Amino acid sequence: MNKTVIFLPLKPRHRARKTLLSNSPKHIKYIVGEGEIKNKNIKPIKKHNIFFNKIRDLSHMIFKKIFSQIQFPAIEIKLPNRNFYFDYYLKNISVILSNKKFIVYQLENILSLFNTKGQKLNSRLSLILLKAILLSNRCKYIFCMSEAAKESAIKILNIPQKKQEKFQVIYPTINPIKYKKDSNDPIVRLLYLSRTHIFGNSFYWKGGKLVLQAFEKLKKNYSNIELVFNGHVPPEFKRHFEKISSIKFYRDIPYENVIDFYKKADIFLFPTYADNFGFTFIEAMSYGLPIICINNHFASPELVLNNETGFLVDTSLKFLKYPFGIINYDWIKKWKIIIMKEDDLVGLNNLVEKLEILIQNKELREKFGNNGRNRLIDGELSIKARNRKLSLLFKN
Q: What is the pLDDT of residue 39?
A: 47
Beta bridge partners of 268: 191, 291
Query: CA-to-CA distance for 164 and 254, rounded, in angstroms?
Result: 41
At residue 317 the predicted structure's pLDDT band, cuts being 50, 70 and 90, is confident
Average pLDDT, the chain: 80
Q: CA angle, corner 382, sides to 355 and 143, nearest 5?
A: 105
Is residue 114 domain-resident? yes
Of 38-47, 227-236, 292-301, the least confident: 38-47
Quick one: average pLDDT of 87-91? 83
Residue range(s) defining the domain that contains residue 102: 4-172+381-393
Is residue 180 domain-resident? no
Report the 3 state secondary structure along the chain.
CCCEEEEECCCCCCHHHHCCCCCCCCCEEEEECCCCCCCCCEEECCCCCHHHHHHHHHHHHHHHHHHHHCCCECEEECCCCCCCCCCEEEEECCEEECCCEEEEEEECCHHHHECCCCCCCCCHHHHHHHHHHHCCCCEEEEEECCHHHHHHHHHHHCCCHHHHHHEEECCCCCCCCCCCCCCCCCCEEEEEECCCCCCCCHHHHCCHHHHHHHHHHHHCCCCCEEEEEECCCCHHHHHHHCCCCCEEEECCCCHHHHHHHHHHCCEEECCCCCCCCCHHHHHHHHCCCCEEEECCCCCHHHHCCECCCEEEECCCCCCCCCCHHHHCCHHHHHHHHHHHHCCCHHHHHHHHHHHHHHHHCHHHHHHHHHHHHHHHHCCCCCHHHHHHHHHHHCCC
Q: What is the pLDDT of residue 35?
A: 41
Q: What is the pLDDT of residue 218?
A: 96
Q: What is the pLDDT of residue 50?
A: 59
Is residue 100 domain-resident? yes
> Percent of the chain, pLDDT > 70?
75
CATH of the domain at 241: 3.40.50.2000
Q: What is the pLDDT of residue 12?
A: 74
pLDDT tens-place string over residues 137-190:
989 999 999 998 898 889 888 999 999 999 999 999 988 888 777 777 889 999
> Domain count of the chain?
2
Is residue 182 domain-resident? no
Q: Are residues 149 and 253 in the same domain?
A: no
Query: CA-to-CA distance for 128 and 73, rounded, in angstroms?
Result: 10
Higher-confidence position of 96 and 355: 355
Buried b (16+ CB within 10 A) or exposed e, 326-338: bbebebbeebbee
Q: What is the pLDDT of residue 57?
A: 64
Is residue 9 domain-resident? yes
Q: What is the pLDDT of residue 339?
A: 64
pLDDT at 93 over 70: no
Q: Are residues 164 and 240 in the same domain?
A: no
Q: Are residues 156 and 270 in the same domain?
A: no
Q: What is the pLDDT of residue 332?
A: 54
Q: Are residues 131 and 241 in the same domain?
A: no
CATH of the domain at 81: 3.40.50
At residue 223 the predicted structure's pLDDT band, cuts being 50, 70 and 90, is very high
Q: Are residues 213 and 241 in the same domain?
A: yes
Q: What is the pLDDT of residue 324?
A: 47
Q: What is the pLDDT of residue 331?
A: 55
Q: What is the pLDDT of residue 168?
A: 95
Q: Are residues 27 and 152 in the same domain?
A: yes
Higher-confidence position of 186 and 98: 186
Higher-confidence position of 201 and 130: 130
Q: What is the pLDDT of residue 181?
A: 76
Is residue 271 domain-resident? yes
Q: Are residues 168 and 198 in the same domain?
A: no
Is residue 177 domain-resident? no
Q: Are residues 344 and 203 in the same domain?
A: yes
This prediction's pTM: 0.84
Q: Are residues 254 and 274 in the same domain?
A: yes
Q: Are residues 131 and 213 in the same domain?
A: no
Is residue 136 domain-resident? yes
Q: Are residues 373 and 387 in the same domain?
A: no
pLDDT at 128 over 80: yes
Q: Are 224 and 186 in contact (CB under 8 A)?
A: yes
Q: Are residues 203 and 149 in the same domain?
A: no
Of 140-144, 193-197, 290-294, 338-342, the least confident: 338-342
pLDDT tens-place string over residues 242-283:
888 899 998 877 777 788 899 999 999 999 887 778 889 999
